[in-house]
Amino acid sequence: MLGRTLREVSTALKQGHITPTELCQKCLSLIKKTKFLNAYITVSEEVALKQAEESEKRYKKGHSLGDLDGIPVAVKDNFSTSGIETTCASNMLKGYVPPYNATVVQKLLDKGAVLMGKTNLDEFAMGALGSDTGGSTRNPAAHCGVVGFKPSYGLVSRHGLIPLVNSMDVPGILTRCVDDAAIVLGMLAGHDPKDSTTIQDPVKPFTLPTLADVNKLCIGIPKEYLVPELSSEVRSFWSKAANLFESEGAKVIEVSLPHTSYSIICYHVLCTSEVASNMARFDGLEYGHRCDINVSTEAMYAATRREGFNDVVRGRILSGNFFLLKENYEKYFIKAQKVRRLIANDFVNVFNSGVDVLLTPTTLSEAVPYLEFIKEDNRTRSAQDDIFTQAVNMAGLPAVSVPVALSNQGLPIGLQFIGRAFCDQQLLTVASWFEKQVQFPVIQLQELMDDFSSDFEIEKLSSVSLKQ
Amino acid sequence: MAAPVLRWSCVGKRWVLACIDGGSRHGRGAAIGFTSRRKRGQSSVAQQPLITAQKSRKGEHEWAAVVGLEIHAQISSNSKLFSGSQVHFAAPPNSLVSFFDASLPGTLPVLNRRCVEAAVMTGLALNCRINKKSLFDRKHYFYADLPAGYQITQQRLPIAVNGSLAYSVCVGKKPSQVSTKTVRIKQIQLEQDSGKSLHDEPRSQTLIDLNRAGVGLLEVVLEPDMSCGEEAASAVRELQLILQALGTSQANMAEGQLRVDANISVHHPGEPLGVRTEVKNLNSARFLAKAIDFEIERQIHELENGRKILNETRSFDYKLGCTMPMRDKEGKQDYRFMPEPNLPPLLLHDTASLPPGADPQQVINIDWIREQLPELPSETREKLIQQYGMLPEHSFALLNEVGLLEFFQNVIKETRAEPKKVTSWVLNIFLGFLKQQNLTVNESPVTPSALAELLNLLDRKAISSSAAKQVFEELWRSKGKTPSQIVSEKKLELMQDQEALERVCHTVMEGHPQVFLSLKVMDVKRGNPRAINKLIGLVRKATLNRADPTVIKKILERKLSS
């Protein structure tokens, strides 16, 4: 049951094949068994069981709240959850219990979803896991063989999402299939009076139409995304995908996004500047960590922040403040904003030329082993990880990573579709068609658990076999 | 009112444009030694502050002072600029704080429509160009009462620019010698107020109250077009009246709703401007004028002694009457300005640019706001002068006190007395009583109708003017009585019975033969006025002040010459 799609589980709940409580308990036991993966920072067992119980009552009375009622969900630990500790995996916020729910969390709960807990991330989501600022929904999705969807900027509320880069952050949706992502988007999207950057127009829940054929589609292949670092396996799946579209009748053309190569460095300037600004509030006065030093307010600030932030966060705060200094502002921040505009215009030009959707890799290769992963410093790592994903955040466009196949090593590989701003439904429709063609195998964590003991070594992950 | 409120004018002055009560409270300022050092023949800087107009000493250059102001006016609104928290003065500490005000992570600013309308209205009243597109920025600095570590303001593109403010200053000794001046307004920007830090020195603790954090402010930047404390104080006073007339700010300086920072420099005319200092947090017009004039004198003194002026931030010590460098503002501040990414550009419309079918709740139309502009103080004063033949200084005085003009107009409505008489009574007697007891117009025990009735009695000569004053005092003391009641209770009505008056005069003359004889000897027409006044006084006393002195005089003169 845990390997099924949202729609399948929802049907099973409606038909009474399984109760929300049973489902919740299954989830909780899987979380316990996979504890060594360190996926959760907080498991909200009691709350989850209570919510499941409520859901069960509703089903018994025939008052289900819809497709999400009784469905287990997890939320990254940078979304504020009322009464549940929200840490951003930072010492700075250890013990911080928000008094309110993020809008997206509230919307999920209003629809009857059962919150299992808060998932891990690197501090303040500055790396590969988390909400989507530079690719942090799509990259992990590609590596894990699931769908990772980043909606258009402004479509989904950021209220309650602890910010990394306000102008790029978007709540991301991770699901087993594109259709599920569409269902969740339908529940979450729309204007939020608490977030002034959300669109004013009302968004209605929708179901994805089934695309009969792709004859009228034009797929763009950005030539700048063919970089030397791209693994041959990913490259070959990318071209296979392009061929698939072409053979099914779509028009597939090479396009150019000429400013792509400047994107990472520009992202770095803008990201660190906003980080420096956003982190200014963590001074130990109102909430979160506070040091023991109290000789002066300044000394308390300094010690609190030194103790509360790790090296990566402090490094970004320092560089961000450097870029914002009066003497540097023009040279770095303004220039980066101009480049950002050029990058966004690249996409506009391509879409104006008749392209419906862009097809690109999501990552350079499949997931690398942990020992390999920690060799590089954070900056290099994020530059590599976000190479194909962050330009989308700079431009505010919707993008989705869809799993395509397993590598020779048996690890998942994903491809990315990028759509026009606020054409999220069109994008998901195309992605859904593609998903049906490739028939990616469902990952069976349950079986994985049966095969391995709990003192499982991380290194062995690279050889995990997945059920076809 | 519990605490005495610092007012603009002081007891005894009937009206005040901006004459700051100069030499009365120099405190220990002399210890610093600047004001006393200058041999310019002025006892007080404030009374003759036009440095440019002064003649230079032998071998010395003239000095010109340049003063610019940054004024922060708290917007009068129910809720804060970016959050739903209520705005109240003197609420219990930290009782008006939303999650956003406390900068909880993940909270976002939502712009308050009322604050935007207040800014547009103020901009229009100050002849500004309203920017149809304005932007918000973050200004970063670490301070305990600034929870987010930055203030949201409008640095790059403010909501209103290029305006002007006309104000009046006394130019001579007489209050009627008034000159109108204009100061350019550089810009008006919307920004957040900070919280308050309360330093508990004995426990070496700082307590934070966030009630004020996030309240909407209008920062009004006045160009350096002023040249002394009095001009600056007059400009601020006029701005205060305009804000109050618009209702965009209560602008009460004592409650911190209007705070002023002054930029001051001196130079020789014809030469480039000097290095400026900034005097921060001036919270009364009197201190504003004093601080500026002190700072001008200090800078001249420094330069004349071969020293340099530092570009620094200073505060005004009102006890010592001098400015001092601010310790916590030492070192270069770099505010690391950055666009506020959580707020889209603020777009305003006029009727021409209004999108068809736009939801009136979602758009702000500058033209609608313009139509709703109330009468401004300068227009009100002009009307008073035209309608009632009032002296300009009286029109200023009527507007200077909250509620006084309305009181005056209500009296006028109900009385047959001449406007001049009403003006004189309201400004001299009524205001005098208020000042003496430190009351506001609203707290007055005498209503406009009561005063109107009293003036009617006076107008139809039912009572004498001295009796009228008695009645007024009685009205002030015993609430609820009408003037007519008091007049009859106290038997204050004028004696209209000519025969009875004649009889009283006769009796008095007979009772004081010496006075009578001395008058009889001399020609009354050229006679001793003191003597006849003495007789008039005696007659009035005999009538318990109920006789009209002019009538008595006539009777006495007739009797003397007969």
pLDDT digits (tens, 9 = 90+) for B226-239: 999 999 999 999 99
Q: Are the beta carbons of A388 and A231 closer than 8 angstroms?
A: no
- Are A79 and B106 a contacting pair at CB < 8 A? yes
For B50-108, how does the pLDDT look when each residue is reduced to its tens digit (9 = 90+)?
Answer: 444 344 444 457 999 999 999 999 999 999 999 999 999 889 999 999 999 999 999 99
Residue A286 has pLDDT above 80, yes or no: yes
d(CA B515, CA B530): 10
Please name the member of A161, A281, A325 whose beta carbon is closest to the beta carbon of B103. Answer: A281
What is the structure's pLDDT at B176? Answer: 67
- Are A162 and B106 a contacting pair at CB < 8 A? yes
- Are A166 and B111 a contacting pair at CB < 8 A? no
- With cut-offs at 50, 70 and 90, classify the pLDDT of residue B405: very high
Residues 6 or more apart in contact with residue A465 via CB below 8 angstroms: A410
- Are B338 and A326 a contacting pair at CB < 8 A? no
Query: Chain B interface residues facing chain A, Cβ-Cβ under 8 Å?
Result: 99, 102-111, 138, 140, 142, 144, 147-150, 206, 208, 334-338, 341-344, 362
d(CA A260, CA A279): 29
- Are A280 and B142 a contacting pair at CB < 8 A? yes
What is the structure's pLDDT at A447? Answer: 58
ipTM comes to 0.88
Average model confidence (pLDDT) across chain A: 90
For A221-246, how does the pLDDT look when each residue is reduced to its tens digit (9 = 90+)?
Answer: 999 999 999 999 999 999 999 999 99
Stretch B25-53: mean pLDDT, rounded? 36
Which stretch, A204-213, A292-301, B373-382, has highest mean pLDDT? B373-382
- Are A325 and B105 a contacting pair at CB < 8 A? no
Q: Which of A353-367, B296-310, B349-363 has the lowest mean pLDDT?
A: B349-363
d(CA B297, CA A291): 47
What is the structure's pLDDT at A444? Answer: 61
Please name the member of A98, A161, A281 whose beta carbon is closest to the beta carbon of B148. Answer: A281
Please name the member of A160, A197, A324 whose beta carbon is closest to the beta carbon of B338. Answer: A324
- With cut-offs at 50, 70 and 90, classify the pLDDT of residue B28: very low
Which of A90, A286, A293 should one mutate to test binding to chain B, selecting the residue with the greatest count of B CBs within 10 A? A286
Task: Match 């130019």 to its residue by tokens.
Answer: B171
Q: Which two structure tokens, joined as six digits, stand for B498? A: 């000519």
Identify the burial level of A258 via C-beta atoms within 10 angstroms of its C-beta, where 0-12 means exposed, 13-18 middle and 19 or more buried. middle
- Are B341 and A301 a contacting pair at CB < 8 A? no
Chain A residues close to B337, C-beta within 8 Å: 324, 326, 329
What is the structure's pLDDT at A440? Answer: 86
Query: C-alpha angle B469/B472/B474, rounded to 5°?
Result: 115
Please name the member of A166, A193, A321 whose beta carbon is closest to the beta carbon of B336. Answer: A321
What is the Cα gyration radius of chain B?
30
Q: Distance (Å) from the C-alpha of residue B153 to the closest C-alpha of chain A?
A: 14
What is the structure's pLDDT at B395? Answer: 92
Average model confidence (pLDDT) across chain B: 84
Taking phi first (over 0 means left), then psi (-120 to 50 degrees means alpha), and beta for anything else, what does residue B285 get?
A: alpha
Our measurement of the distance from residue B51's CA atom to the centroid of its chain's CA atoms, rounded to an integer in Å, reads: 24
- Are B338 and A277 a contacting pair at CB < 8 A? yes
What is the structure's pLDDT at A231? Answer: 95
Which of A81, A123, A157, A277 should one mutate to test binding to chain B, selecting the residue with the greatest count of B CBs within 10 A? A277
CB of A102 within 8 Å of a chain B CB? The answer is yes
Closest CA to B238 of B140, B360, B79, B125: B125
Stretch B384-411: mean pLDDT, rounded? 92
d(CA A220, CA B269): 68
What is the structure's pLDDT at A418? Answer: 98
Stretch B471-497: mean pLDDT, rounded? 84
What is the structure's pLDDT at A40? Answer: 92
By DSSP bridging, strand B277-282 and strand A251-255 are unpaired
Identify the three-state secondary structure at position B187. strand
Closest CA to B172 of B340, B19, B327, B361: B19
Closest CA to B49 of B149, B171, B200, B205: B171
Which of B210, B342, B361, B362 should one mutate to test binding to chain A, selecting the residue with the greatest count of A CBs within 10 A? B342
- Are A277 and B362 a contacting pair at CB < 8 A? no
Identify the three-state secondary structure at position A81. strand
What is the structure's pLDDT at B15? Answer: 35
What is the structure's pLDDT at B146? Answer: 95
Q: Are the beta carbons of A120 and A129 closer than 8 angstroms?
A: yes
What is the structure's pLDDT at B26? Answer: 37
Q: Are the beta carbons of B237 and B259 closer than 8 angstroms?
A: no
- With cut-offs at 50, 70 and 90, classify the pLDDT of residue B547: confident
Chain A residues close to B109, C-beta within 8 Å: 196
Stretch B382-395: mean pLDDT, rounded? 92
- Are A286 and B341 a contacting pair at CB < 8 A? no
Strands (DSSP E) contained in B177-276 are 178-192, 196-200, 205-209, 216-226, 258-267
Stretch B20-36: mean pLDDT, rounded? 35
What is the structure's pLDDT at B549? Answer: 78
What is the structure's pLDDT at B60? Answer: 58
What is the structure's pLDDT at B51? Answer: 45
Residue B14 has pLDDT above 50, yes or no: no
Stretch B144-156: mean pLDDT, rounded? 96
Stretch A409-431: mean pLDDT, rounded? 96
For A136-184, how does the pLDDT look when each residue is reduced to its tens digit (9 = 90+)?
Answer: 999 999 998 999 999 999 999 999 999 999 999 999 999 999 999 999 9
- With cut-offs at 50, 70 and 90, classify the pLDDT of residue B402: confident
pTM of the model: 0.83
Which of A294, A298, A317, A324 should one mutate to test binding to chain B, selecting the residue with the greatest count of B CBs within 10 A? A324
What is the structure's pLDDT at B359? Answer: 81
Between B527 and B399, the more confident residue is B399
- With cut-offs at 50, 70 and 90, classify the pLDDT of residue A377: confident
Chain B residues close to A165, C-beta within 8 Å: 341
Nearest CA in chain A to B101: A286
- With cut-offs at 50, 70 and 90, classify the pLDDT of residue B525: low
- With cut-offs at 50, 70 and 90, classify the pLDDT of residue A127: very low
What is the structure's pLDDT at B20? Answer: 37
What is the structure's pLDDT at B467? Answer: 84
Stretch B280-284: mean pLDDT, rounded? 89
Q: Which two structure tokens, joined as six digits, stand for A234? A: 């990913």
Task: State the DSSP string of B129-160.
Answer: EEPSEE--EEEE---TT-TTSEEEE-SSS-SE
For A295-324, how does the pLDDT look when each residue is reduced to its tens digit (9 = 90+)?
Answer: 888 899 999 999 999 999 999 999 999 999
The number of C-alpha atoms within 13 Å of B359 and in the hemisphere containing its C-beta is 4
Between B547 and A304, the more confident residue is A304
- With cut-offs at 50, 70 and 90, classify the pLDDT of residue B335: very high
Q: Which of residues 57-86 of A touch B (CB under 8 A)?
A: 79-80
Residue B560 has pLDDT above 70, yes or no: yes
**Long-range contacts: B416-419, Cβ < 8 Å, 24+?**
B416/B455, B416/B456, B416/B459, B416/B460, B417/B452, B417/B455, B417/B456, B417/B458, B417/B459, B418/B459, B419/B387, B419/B388, B419/B389, B419/B390
By DSSP bridging, strand A218-222 and strand A251-255 are parallel
Q: Which of A397-401, B45-49, B175-179 has the lowest mean pLDDT?
A: B45-49
C-beta neighbour count of A142 within 10 angstroms: 31
Stretch B464-482: mean pLDDT, rounded? 86
Taking phi first (over 0 means left), then psi (-120 to 50 degrees means alpha), and beta for anything else, what does residue A125 get?
A: left
Q: For a pLDDT cut of 90, what percent of chain A falls above it?
A: 75
- Are B149 and A280 a contacting pair at CB < 8 A? yes
- Are A297 and B102 a contacting pair at CB < 8 A? no
How big is the A-B interface in CB pairs under 8 Å? 102
Task: State the DSSP string of A433-467.
Answer: HHHHHH-PPPP-HHHHHHHS-TT--GGGGGG----
Residue A467 has pLDDT above 50, yes or no: no
User: Greatest CA separation found in chain B?
Assistant: 100
Please name the member of B103, B106, B148 whose beta carbon is closest to the beta carbon of A102. Answer: B106
Closest CA to A361 of A251, A259, A255, A235: A235
Chain B residues close to A99, C-beta within 8 Å: 99, 104
- With cut-offs at 50, 70 and 90, classify the pLDDT of residue B163: very high
